[in-house]
Structure 1
Amino acid sequence: MPAAPSLIIPEHEVELTAIRAQGAGGQNVNKVNSAVHLRFDVQASSLPEAVKERLLQMRDQRITTDGVLVLKAQRFRTWEKNRADALERLAELIAKASHRPKPRRPTRPSKAARQKRMDRKTQRGAIKRNRGKVDL
């Protein structure tokens, strides 16, 4: 299962379970296990360490304290579509974690920019100073 352009997750690392869906749906929801419960152990996976670390540091409620990612897919009526949806959402999360953020390099405003700012502040102050009561 491809997660990112260069990452592939083996099928044995993903645990899929059929469960009953919640909400409206009548007899289909009440009798058929069409929802999918996906469990993916991030710690034990074959992902690169940097991706694992970024995935675990995400502030996501779907990642347990043990480092297991739990997804529930119940959008569709069939188990196959829900399974595909859950795997797609897992791939999106891993792709998001595999993207390394560009480090921020602190910069300082130029002398011209500082001077421009001071000129604007002086002009604004003059406008405010000229407000007030008018003597007749």
Structure 2
Amino acid sequence: MTTPPKFPVDEREIEFSAIRAQGAGGQNVNKVSSAIHLRFDIPASSLPDAVKDRLLALNDSRITQEGVFVLKAQQHRTQEMNRSDALERLQEVINSVASPPKARRATKPTYGSKQRRLEGKSQRSAIKGLRGRVDE
């Protein structure tokens, strides 16, 4: 069971267009426009500004320079299933940036970890010291 989305997408803000799917599939793929091309304009959407900023900051090739999220769904045979698949995938991306990232709290290494590190360094130094020229 999936958790309900924090920020559900209003379908009126999404532009759908049916296109022909690519790849193998025989006559059905060549004749029927079953793939869905989804376009979601992030800056013009009703999402909160913080979520918009995090979405636009994603390093995702599906987001254009104008801030439009473009997605192509062609997994299924029917247009309706591809449409719902595209909506789910868009909602997953929005859910991934819905909550702000946790701030990193700087910590210091413990005394024991410092001692183990120094011990390892001295062992390595002793090994390398034995590689030198042998004096008689």
TM score, norm. by length of structure 2? 0.88
Q: CA deviation at 1:4?
A: 5.7
Q: Superposed, which structure 2 residues align to 1:21-40 within 5 Å?
A: 21-40=21-40
Instruction: Give a deviation string over 1:51-79, Cα, whole Å, max 9, x none.
Output: 10000010111111111100000111110
Q: CA deviation at 1:133?
A: 6.5
2:90 corresponds in structure 1 to 90
1:102 corresponds in structure 2 to 102
2:80 corresponds in structure 1 to 80
Q: CA deviation at 1:130?
A: 2.7
1:18 corresponds in structure 2 to 18
1:62 corresponds in structure 2 to 62
Q: Secondary structure of the residue that 2:39 maps to in structure 1?
A: strand
Q: CA deviation at 1:135?
A: 7.7
Q: CA deviation at 1:50?
A: 0.7
For these two proteins, the number of residue pairs brought into alignment is 134
2:52 corresponds in structure 1 to 52
- Aligned AA (1:61): S
- Aligned AA (2:54): R
- Aligned AA (1:76): H
Structure 1 gaps, min length 5: none
Instruction: Give a deviation string over 1:70-123, Cα, whole Å, max 9, x none.
Output: 000011111011111100100110011113211112222233322321122112
Identity of aligned residues (%): 59
- Aligned AA (2:58): M
Runs of 4+ with >3 A deviation: 131-136
Q: Greater CA deviation, 46-55 or 117-126? A: 117-126
Mapped partners of 1:119, 1:22: distance in 2? 60
RMSD of aligned residue pairs (Cα, Å): 2.0
Structure 2 gaps, min length 5: none
